């Protein structure tokens, strides 16, 4: 059974940032997102600034197609606190707000 899913910016998930890669630990339901998504002080997810993502619009489109169907409980961004409960729902809310 495959337990680790790597996303490469070039073909799976456009996450062009200085972190550059995303990683999903499927059995643990943990998603590492580098600098592509951050957490706000209210606990919501938000896209990083253009200084962190070289093409923010392409990142948003990629997330709409790649992240909406993933199931994860915890999201670990490169900066700011983790979302430790209901993370995939918060990312889906972010996608809905930006479309």
Count the domains in the chain: 1
pLDDT in tens, 14-66: 455 555 567 788 888 888 887 778 888 888 888 777 666 667 777 777 777 77
10 Å CB burial of residue 24 (0-12, 13-18, 19+) is buried
Look up the CATH number of the domain holding residue 60.
3.60.15.10
pTM over 0.85: no
The DSSP string of 6-17 is: EE-TTTT----S
Rounded to an integer, what distance in angstroms lies between the CA atom of residue 20 and that of residue 13? 10
pLDDT score at 59: 74
Domain range for 41: 4-98
**Are the CB atoms for 48 and 33 separated by under 8 Å?**
no
pLDDT score at 5: 54
**Are the CB atoms for 15 and 7 separated by under 8 Å?**
yes
């Amino acid at each position: 059974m495959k337990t680790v899913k790597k996303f490469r910016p070039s073909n799976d998930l456009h996450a062009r940032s200085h972190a550059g890669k995303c990683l999903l630990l499927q059995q643990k339901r943990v998603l590492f997102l580098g600098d592509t998504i951050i957490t706000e002080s209210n606990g919501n997810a938000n896209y990083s600034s253009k200084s962190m993502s070289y093409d923010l619009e392409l990142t948003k489109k990629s997330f709409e197609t790649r992240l909406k169907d993933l199931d994860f409980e915890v999201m670990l961004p490169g900066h700011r606190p983790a979302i430790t409960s209901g993370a995939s729902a918060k990312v889906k809310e972010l996608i809905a707000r930006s479309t």
